[in-house]
């Protein structure tokens, strides 16, 4: 057994190497307790811990009793199994040592707001998270995917969390899968076939009804955006936007939150949904509005953006969205469908204006979004579907 002690960001970090058993557990305790009693936060590094006996576990219990804010990180698979089997994972925060992988040379098959998806092999993909996302947030996505799966949504559940350089990633095993987007690209002449597949999957997602408050309330989130952009717009426009969002009926349908054909993986004709970190609940109008952002809104900067992101021409993406609304709103008249699309555009522009920092190099585009939403909000009575 070897022990290393350091102060890192105000926390006492204790690194335990080798094996801790009945013979050396007393030495472990003597070595660390005087420092533990002076600390307000203790982190135990188990990245090189090969084995720990019940005697060693009792020392950790003493540390935990002395300092409430005690956690274990980078536990080896062997030590983590012991912590889990003995109930330690229920008593304190314990994280596993993550496998490290590289995505150098791997095909990029999708981009989301929080990460990029790479194909590692024929049957394995990895979502690499950017924006400095913490491990806890990533583990939450896995829990969201599990909830969706339990509610009957065909979800790809992450099999492993890994390190990719300085970032985290979630690994999915999807046997010989391809995105619905890849299928569209290869068979663009039959695009309406894939619109129907996309809408069929979307309706399965929306058929799931989580418990109230179980997922993020999309209405509350969008209302926050509306209030944030209020002062960027003429007063009557800002007030109208906030009023319209408040008037959206409360709803408990499950929403993906970033639904598009790069987030639908197909194994043959069987779909699986990925990229679940935006999972939420609310009215389906929010989902359709954000789909407009993906297929049309973001391409208003430059029509080539659609080709860069999806590999599909802008006109085809516009058709894909419009046809999606038509199929989703089955039975609506042409005028009713046109009205729904107006509502989608309003929600899209709320989102885009809220993220206006992306368009610092395109001030004219921001002004166009503001002008368009200023006209649209007085052409609809409400934003309900």
| Together in a domain, 226 and 368 | yes
Q: List, for residues 34-57, the tens digit of each pLDDT value.
A: 999 999 999 999 999 999 999 999
The total number of structural domains that make up the chain: 3
Whole-angstrom distance, CA of residue 312 vs CA of residue 162: 31
Assign 45 to helix, strand or coil.
strand
Distances (CA, A) of 221 to 31, 38, 89, 235, 383: 50, 43, 33, 21, 15
Is the pLDDT confidence value at 135 over 80? no
Is residue 116 within a helix (H) or strand (E), and if so which, with residue range? strand 115-121
Q: End of a domain among 71, 97, 123?
A: 97
Whole-angstrom distance, CA of residue 280 vs CA of residue 224: 15
| Together in a domain, 221 and 333 | yes
DSSP state letters, 225-268: HHHHHGGGS-HHHHHHHHHHHHTSPP---EE-SS-STTSEEEET
Task: Please name which of 196, 192, 194, 199 lies closest in space to residue 181, comparing C-alpha atoms.
Answer: 194
Q: Are 347 and 292 in contact (CB under 8 A)?
A: yes
- Which segments of 134-261 does DSSP mark as H helices, in order? 135-150, 180-186, 191-207, 218-229, 235-246
Is residue 5 within a helix (H) or strand (E), and if so which, with residue range? strand 2-8
pLDDT on residue 203: 97
Chain length of the chain = 385
Q: List, for residues 308-343, the tens digit of each pLDDT value.
A: 889 999 999 999 999 999 999 999 999 999 999 999
| Together in a domain, 290 and 317 | yes
- What order do you get walking across the sheet with 124-129 strand by strand? 99-100, 160-164, 167-173, 124-129, 115-121, 107-111
| Together in a domain, 32 and 123 | no
Q: End of a domain among 49, 77, 97?
A: 97
Torsion of CA 133, 134, 135, 141, to 10 degrees: -50
Please give the residue range of the domain that contains residue 162: 107-173
Is the pLDDT confidence value at 170 over 70? yes
102 domain-assigned: no
| Together in a domain, 81 and 119 | no
**Six-digit token pair at 33?**
């307790």
Whole-angstrom distance, CA of residue 29 vs CA of residue 22: 11
pLDDT on residue 145: 86
Is the pLDDT confidence value at 111 over 80? no
The phi, psi pair for 130, rounded to 5°, reads -105, -155
CATH number at residue 305: 3.90.1200
385 domain-assigned: no
pLDDT on residue 55: 95
Is the pLDDT confidence value at 360 over 70? no
Query: What number of other Cβ atoms are within 10 A of residue 214's Cβ?
Result: 14
pLDDT on residue 302: 75
pLDDT on residue 112: 65
| Together in a domain, 116 and 184 | no
382 domain-assigned: no
Q: 259 falls in which pLDDT band (50, 70, 90)?
A: very high
238 domain-assigned: yes
| Together in a domain, 311 and 185 | yes
| Together in a domain, 114 and 195 | no
The region of weakest confidence among 4-13, 296-305, 369-378 is: 296-305
148 domain-assigned: yes
In degrees, rounded to 5, the angle at the alpha carbon of residue 192 between the alpha carbons of residues 190 and 193 is: 70
Is the pLDDT confidence value at 246 over 90? yes
| Together in a domain, 254 and 200 | yes
212 domain-assigned: yes
Q: List, for residues 191-212, the tens digit of each pLDDT value.
A: 999 999 999 999 999 999 998 8
| Together in a domain, 201 and 154 | no
Of 307 and 285, which is predicted with more confidence?
A: 285
359 domain-assigned: yes
Task: Please name which of 73, 66, 65 lies closest in space to residue 91, comparing C-alpha atoms.
Answer: 65
| Together in a domain, 120 and 146 | yes
CATH number at residue 122: 3.30.200.20
Q: End of a domain among 37, 68, 97?
A: 97
Is residue 19 within a helix (H) or strand (E), and if so which, with residue range? strand 11-20
Burial class (CB in 10 A: 0-12, 13-18, 19+), 279: buried
Sign of CA dihedral 301, 225, 375, 348: positive
Q: Mean pLDDT across the chain, nearest whole number?
A: 91
Q: List, for residues 141-159, the tens digit of each pLDDT value.
A: 888 888 898 889 998 877 8
pTM above 0.85, yes or no: no
Q: 275 falls in which pLDDT band (50, 70, 90)?
A: confident
| Together in a domain, 330 and 354 | yes
The region of weakest confidence among 132-141, 166-175, 251-260, 320-329 is: 132-141
CATH number at residue 23: 3.30.750.24
In degrees, rounded to 5, the angle at the alpha carbon of residue 26 between the alpha carbons of residues 23 and 29 is: 140
Q: 13 falls in which pLDDT band (50, 70, 90)?
A: very high
The phi, psi pair for 332, rounded to 5°, reads -75, 150
Distances (CA, A) of 155 to 27, 53, 143, 201: 49, 39, 11, 11
381 domain-assigned: no
Whole-angstrom distance, CA of residue 117 vs CA of residue 366: 29
């Amino acid at each position: 057994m070897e022990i290393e002690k350091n102060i890192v960001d105000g926390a006492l970090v204790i690194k335990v190497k080798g094996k801790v058993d009945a013979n050396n557990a007393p030495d472990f305790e003597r070595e660390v307790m005087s420092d533990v009693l002076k600390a307000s936060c203790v982190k135990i590094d188990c990245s090189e811990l090969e084995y720990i006996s019940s005697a060693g576990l009792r020392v950790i219990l003493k540390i935990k009793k002395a300092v409430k804010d005690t956690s274990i990180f980078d536990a080896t698979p062997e030590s983590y199994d012991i912590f889990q089997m003995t109930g330690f994972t229920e008593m304190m925060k314990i994280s596993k040592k993550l496998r490290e992988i590289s995505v150098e040379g791997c095909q990029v098959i999708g981009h989301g707001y929080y990460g990029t998806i790479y194909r590692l092999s024929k049957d394995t993909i990895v979502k690499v998270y950017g924006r400095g996302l913490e491990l806890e947030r990533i583990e939450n996505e896995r829990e969201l995917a599990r909830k969706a799966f339990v509610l009957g949504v065909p979800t790809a559940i992450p099999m492993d969390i890994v390190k990719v350089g300085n970032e985290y990633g979630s690994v999915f095993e999807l046997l010989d899968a391809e995105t619905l987007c890849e299928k569209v690209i290869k068979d663009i002449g039959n695009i309406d076939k894939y619109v129907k597949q996309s809408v069929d999957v979307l309706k399965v997602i929306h058929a799931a009804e989580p418990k109230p408050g179980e997922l993020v309330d999309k209405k509350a989130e969008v209302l926050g955006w509306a209030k944030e952009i209020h002062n960027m717009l003429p007063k009557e426009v800002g007030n109208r936007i906030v009023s319209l969002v408040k008037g959206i009926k409360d709803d408990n349908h499950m929403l993906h939150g970033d639904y598009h054909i790069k987030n639908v993986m197909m194994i043959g004709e069987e779909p699986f949904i990925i990229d679940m970190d935006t999972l939420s609940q609310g009215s389906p109008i929010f989902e359709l509005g954000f789909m407009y952002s993906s297929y049309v809104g973001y391409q208003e900067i430059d029509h080539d953006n659609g080709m860069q992101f999806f590999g599909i021409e802008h006109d085809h993406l516009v058709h894909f969205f419009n046809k999606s609304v038509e199929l989703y709103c089955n039975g609506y008249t042409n005028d009713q469908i046109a009205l729904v699309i107006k509502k989608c555009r309003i929600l899209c522009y709320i989102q885009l204006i809220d993220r206006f920092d992306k368009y610092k190099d395109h001030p004219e585009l921001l002004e166009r979004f503001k002008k368009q939403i200023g006209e649209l909000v007085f052409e609809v009575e409400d934003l309900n579907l």
